[in-house]
Amino acid sequence: MLSRIKHRGPDESGFYQSNIVTIGSVRLSIIDLANGSMPIPNKNKTLWIVFNGEIFNYIELREELKQKGYNFDTSTDTEVIVNLYQEYGTQFVNKLNGQFSIAIWDKTKEELFLARDRVGIRPLYYTELNGSFVFASEMKSFLEFPEMTFMINPKALAQYFTFWTSITPTTVFKNIYELPPGSYMIISKKGKQTYKYWQLPIFKKDQYVCTELEKAIKTFEELFQDAVKIRLRADVPVAAYLSGGIDSSITTSFIKSISPNNLKTYSIGFEEDEFDESSYQKIASDYFNTNHSSVTCSAEQIAIHFEHVVWHCEAPLLRTAPVPMYLLAESVRKDNTKVVITGEGADELLGGYNIFKETKIRQFWAKNPQSKYRPLLLKKLYPYLPQMKNANNSILKMFFGYKLEEISSPIYSHILRWNNTSRILNYLSKDCKETIGKYNAISELNDDLDGKLTNDHDYLTKAQFIEINIFMTQYLLSSQGDRMTMANSVEGRYPFLDHRVVEFCMSLHPDLKLKMLNEKYLLKKMMNERLPNEILYRSKQAYRAPVRSVFNFSTMPDRLKDLLTKSSIEKSAVFDYDKVNILFKRFKENIQLSEIDNMALTAIISTQLLVDQYVNRNLLKFESIDLIKPNKIVKE
């Protein structure tokens, strides 16, 4: 099981085993390289821990424990965690500032404790089989558990083909679940129980903590400075991603102010100009005088690596964007770098996405649905969509008019997008559709959020709540984040997702985040004259990757073509071959395709790969050289 996830920690591995439990880990050595081998016990060896991630405030927590009489054998954050558990019990998680999945075995109580970080940067999955409780950082470990079988969950597909992800704790596979972010679980002979220790705070319109720009800038800068500073703690060099956008430029700026020494930065470019930001990356790297490396990604490379990326994502993909992130992390690792700081989270927390602007415009339009001029504002948001360039009122109404006047809906911000995406469900097989039945993912989520998101909450607050809890946590930090870095044994660190920064940003008045249609207003004001104007005031460019050129029939790998054959489609029993074939023919014949068409083909190919890899187990078997040799084994 550990060998299946050795990419998450190729430096060391170990396990603890008793007649009740076995817990193990693979380690990416970053802090206390010589003495950090896991599992690690407390002093009297009644508690044993394995752990994936980093606790950034471990130095302060260790001092706190020393004041209480604790002594330490290592300099690791892992040993701090196990002693915090001894001192404070399950509530110790509230003291942690980090990204983590933790497992602690309590010999005395015969209890297993599992915990996951607040926003879900690190994954943690579990299942139950033949009276055993089984957990792992990635589901692929379960392939090695005796008698384990993988089956696609059609209701989960209904969620993926609507939201781009499943809704926690559901996964794409039946009877496999994830521990939700900000939660811990206790497992004992009595059973299992999940507890929520943190959730994203939301403020009503009359409750915003900060409404003044200057005060907001001062507080944010102090919090973010410390968030970056503690994320530079490591016994190996720490580098940064530099995409050419404002977010990564800000993190780079703060890193340089704290540690002016030589900083390595990395970026990804594209052969196709439509997706490429290389010119901005050069401006940023020249401005900060970093030791910059860039890789250029081609459609052919994306096609070649797509299967490998799906294997690591363990989920259907509706876009190819994770693949360039994989190639970027690969280039980082080849450069012998283990840790990168990135700018994820800024868009979600400070109103950076077009979906926030779109919601604002649609609400404005809804107040006068017959207006000829209000919908024209929408043309500014998506200049990269060919349909939008010459769009008139009727076209805009067709694109954006869905449920326009239902502004009191808790999911108003996302319902248009989800309704469009859910058209992918039309490609499902008859059997899949019958299993799904009358289940509607949008309706279920709407019912769940009804009462949580109300008219007392601003439109932006509601949109952020959905974007952060669903898209960011479940997709962005997983398929484009942790899975792509850790596939290459690289750790990503995210200062914008320090829980103190998250909580402060959610307390801000919406106008400090999205001023009129000016996104990330606070950041731009804070960084005025501290970043090149070309970057600070450039129009928002969403990170995107090619699809059509990737799945070009003449260049697409045979492996992917085979998955679209009648025999493969019918064997998987997930999709309707006739409908898939019509779509694939349109790609082959180079007929005008929509964004939904692109997403549908990506979804079909990625899901076919998942079925083949996990359900059919068409994967590489271990050879003796591939099995890890644990360097620390404790048996009791």
Coil vs helix vs strand at 112: strand
Q: How far is CA 473 from CA 178, 317, 345, 481, in A?
A: 12, 15, 10, 10
As a whole number of angstroms, the distance between CA 314 and CA 166 comes to: 12
Helix 393-400 vs helix 354-366: angle between axes, to the nearest 10 degrees? 110
CA diameter of the chain: 76
Mean pLDDT of 101-127: 98
Cite the beta strand spans of 399-504 per DSSP E: 491-493
Q: In this structure, how many other beta carbons lie within 10 angstroms of the beta carbon of residue 262? A: 9
Length of the chain as a residue count:
636
What is the model's pLDDT at position 626?
A: 83
> What is the percent of the chain where pLDDT is above 90?
87
Among 233-237, 515-519, 559-563, 591-595, where is mean pLDDT lowest? 591-595
Q: 432 with 316: CB under 8 angstroms?
A: no
As a whole number of angstroms, the distance between CA 575 and CA 137 comes to: 29
Question: CA neighbours within 13 Å on the CB side: how many for 152?
Answer: 30
- How far, rounded to the nearest angstrom, does the alpha carbon of residue 351 sit from its chain's CA centroid? 18
**201-249, pLDDT tens digit by residue?**
999 999 999 999 999 999 999 999 999 999 999 999 999 999 999 999 9
Q: In this structure, how many other beta carbons lie within 10 angstroms of the beta carbon of residue 546? A: 24
Coil vs helix vs strand at 548: coil
Among 227-231, 388-392, 602-606, where is mean pLDDT lowest? 388-392
Mean pLDDT of 34-61: 95
Which domains, from first to last, does the chain contain? 3-124+179-198 (3.60.20.10), 213-344+477-536 (3.40.50.620), 552-636 (no CATH)
Mean pLDDT of 164-191: 97
pTM for the whole structure: 0.96
Q: How confident is the model at residue 173 (pLDDT cuts 50, 70, 90)?
A: very high
Residue with tokens 């530079």: 232
**479-491, pLDDT tens digit by residue?**
999 999 999 999 9
**9-33, pLDDT tens digit by residue?**
999 999 999 999 999 999 999 888 8
What is the model's pLDDT at position 624?
A: 75
What is the token pair recorded at 483? 């899975």
**182-195, pLDDT tens digit by residue?**
999 999 999 999 99
Say which residues have a Cβ less than 8 Å from residue 578's Cβ, sequence separation at least 6: none
- Per-residue pLDDT for 396 more than 90? no
As a whole number of angstroms, the distance between CA 167 and CA 158 comes to: 10
Q: 123 with 137: CB under 8 angstroms?
A: yes
H or E stretch covering 101: strand 98-106
As a whole number of angstroms, the distance between CA 258 and CA 532 comes to: 19
What is the model's pLDDT at position 423?
A: 97
Say which residues have a Cβ less than 8 Å from residue 154's Cβ, sequence separation at least 6: 428, 432, 435, 436, 574
Mean pLDDT of 154-182: 98
**318-342, pLDDT tens digit by residue?**
999 999 999 999 999 999 999 999 9
What is the model's pLDDT at position 386?
A: 67
**Residue 3 burial (10 A CB sphere; 0-12, 13-18, 19+):** middle
Residue with tokens 């082959």: 588
What is the token pair recorded at 358? 């779109």
**240-272, pLDDT tens digit by residue?**
999 999 999 999 999 999 998 889 999 999 999
- Per-residue pLDDT for 107 more than 70? yes
**Residue 558 burial (10 A CB sphere; 0-12, 13-18, 19+):** exposed
Nearest in space to 313 (alpha carbons), one of 627, 602, 623:
602
- Phi then psi for residue 128, to 5 deg, are -130, 135
Nearest in space to 160 (alpha carbons), one of 295, 358, 319, 360:
319
